[in-house]
Amino acid sequence: MAKPSSNNPDKIIFKGLDGVYADVTAISEVHAQEAVLTYRGYRINELAEHKTWEEVAYLIWHGELPNAKQLANFIQFEKTHRNISPTLSRLICSLPSSAHPMDRLRTAISFMGCEDIGANDHSPLGLMERSVLMFAKLPTIVATIYRTDKRMPIIEPNPKLDYIDNFFHMTLGGKPDPVIKRAFDVSMTLYAEHSFNASTFAARVVTSTLSDIYSAVTAGIGALRGPLHGGANEAVMGTLQDARDAGGVDKYLAGVFARKEKVIGFGHRVYKNGDSRVPTMTKYFHNVAKLKRREDLIALSDELAAAIAREKNLFPNLDYPAGPTYALMGFPESIFTPMFVMSRITGWTAHVMEQLSDNRIIRPLSAYNGQKPRKLPKK
């Protein structure tokens, strides 16, 4: 909402940059009114239903879906670059286990930048290669964090397995049920890209100074971590648990609204009529819940969503169905947001490349409302 600054009425403040177009992008388009999102012109629900996560990742970076040869080459590159250096593996294991997995992930990406002597390479080829390298190594980093926390031996990546089977192999140590694998694939597609959201914008701001791609991704991780952004998927299970513990949805909401708290998993800056990604993710959440015989979770989640729509005209965002889906798969809540990073790395790095292709440093103005000019006190 634009408002004149209280001290400088001639200066209009767009708090939270609400409603501001900061630049153009050809990567994705949010049609807020119709609750539609497209990646490179394709509707995300169609991509999620008919294309694999690897095809979507390729599309986000290259602007076109891959042909069979391009896809095979891309998959081969990803499979052969999953290993992280022994130093990085040791570093991850040595970080305090009290630190949140997102903090350790942020440090790991920052460290990858230190290991890469060409980190400042801004050539299109160099940027693309580093983007795909981070994409290939992130599951290994997340799995290393997960297994360190569980005090379980690290499982090396297996190049014979595809991206998703390999991630489940390195974390939970088995092959996922096809229903779970499909839901995970869909979640990766839906989380991949969302125009100028806070973490992508943070990555673009860093890039606009001509800093390196690892610094941009590190900034993206820092921004995504918060519960108002990606950290929401971790907090959603808490929302559902609190509703259950309060003895029902109505009692829970009465308390939340009285305390003027936000219900994590609801609301969105851009979508006011519902999040484009929610119907597809909800379908796959239901599939997994039915597989796990947790229809009770579907009922609770539906009841809470209906009550918040009735009371506040607020609708779920993607984190609302994604959080319980990941929980039912057997992942701990603390790695839900790192799994989001495994997907969003595609969007962030595509934006880094787009920003550099037509760069201007991002530097907004501020309307000063501090002390009037004054003299230093005499000694």
* Cβ(109)–Cβ(137) below 8 Å: no
Q: Which residues lie below 8 Å from residue 162, measured CB to CB, with a gap of 6+?
A: 54, 75
Q: Which residues contact 314 (CB under 8 A, 6 or more apart)?
A: 263, 266, 267, 308
Report in angstroms how near the CB of residue 325 gets to ligand COA at its nearest: 15
Is 268 one of the catalytic residues?
A: yes
> Which long-range contacts (C-beta less than 8 Å, at least 24 apart) are formed by 72-80?
74/132, 75/162, 75/163, 77/132, 77/136, 78/54, 78/132, 78/135, 78/136, 78/163, 79/136, 79/159, 79/166, 80/159
- CB nearer to ligand COA: give 267 or 321: 267
DSSP 266: B
Chain CA centroid to CA 271, Å: 17
Under the rule (CB under 6 A), what is the footprint of ligand COA?
16, 228-229, 232, 262-269, 312, 314, 317, 319
Residue 81 annotated to the active site: no
Nearer to ligand COA, 102 or 213 (CB): 102
Nearer to ligand COA, 121 or 311 (CB): 311
Nearer to ligand COA, 45 or 317 (CB): 317
The residue from 229, 268, 286, 351 that is catalytic is 268
Tell the smallest beta-carbon distance from residue 262 to ligand COA (Å): 4
The minimum distance between CB 195 and ligand COA, in angstroms, equals 12
In the complex with ligand COA, the residue whose CB is nearer, 45 or 337, is 337
User: Which one is catalytic: 185, 275, 319, 351?
Assistant: 319
In whole angstroms, how close is the CB of 257 to ligand COA at the nearest point? 7
End-to-end Cα spacing for the chain: 46
Q: Let me know the angle formed at the C-alpha of 57 by 38 and 88, rounded to the nearest 5 degrees.
A: 135
Nearest approach in angstroms of CB 310 to ligand COA is 13
Cβ burial of 126 (10 Å; 0-12, 13-18, 19+) is middle
Residue positions annotated with a catalytic role: 268, 319
